[in-house]
Amino acid sequence: MNKLKYSLLILIGAISYGLLSSIMKVGMKEGFTVSQMLGGQYVFGWTFLLILMLLFSRKKLSPKQWLSLLAVGITMSGTSVFYGKAVELLPASIAVVLLFQFTWIGVLLEAVADRRFPNKSKIASIIVLLAGTLLAGGVIGQQSGALDMKGVIFGLLSAFTFALYMFVSGRVGTEVPAFNKSFFMTTGSGVIVLSVFSPTFLWDGALGAGLWKYGITLGFLGILIPVVFFAIGMPKVGSGTGAILGAAELPAAVVASVLLVHEHVSGLQWMGIVLIFIGIAIPQIRFSRQKKPPLYETQKSAANL
Q: Can you give the chain as a three-state secondary structure string?
A: CHHHHHHHHHHHHHHHHHCHHHHHHHHHHCCCCHHHHHHHHHHHHHHHHHHHHHHHCCCCCCHHHHHHHHHHHHHHHHHHHHHHHHHHHCCHHHHHHHHCCHHHHHHHHHHHHHCCCCCHHHHHHHHHHHHHHHHHCCCCCCCCCCCCHHHHHHHHHHHHHHHHHHHHHCCCCCCCCHHHHHHHHHHHHHHHHHHHCCCHHHCCCCHHHHHHHHHHHHHHHHHHHHHHHHHHHHHHHCHHHHHHHHHHHHHHHHHHHHHHCCCCCCHHHHHHHHHHHHHHHHHHHHHHHHHCCCHHHHHHHHHHC
The tens-digit pLDDT sequence of the chain (305 residues) is 477 788 899 999 989 988 887 888 888 888 888 788 888 889 999 999 999 998 887 778 888 888 888 888 888 888 888 887 787 777 766 777 788 888 888 888 888 887 888 778 888 888 888 888 888 777 665 555 566 788 888 888 988 998 898 888 888 878 888 888 889 899 988 888 888 877 888 888 888 888 899 999 999 998 999 889 988 888 888 877 888 888 888 788 888 888 887 877 778 878 888 888 888 887 766 555 555 554 444 444 444 44
pLDDT at 157: 92
pLDDT at 217: 92
Q: Is-above-0.75 flag for pTM?
A: yes
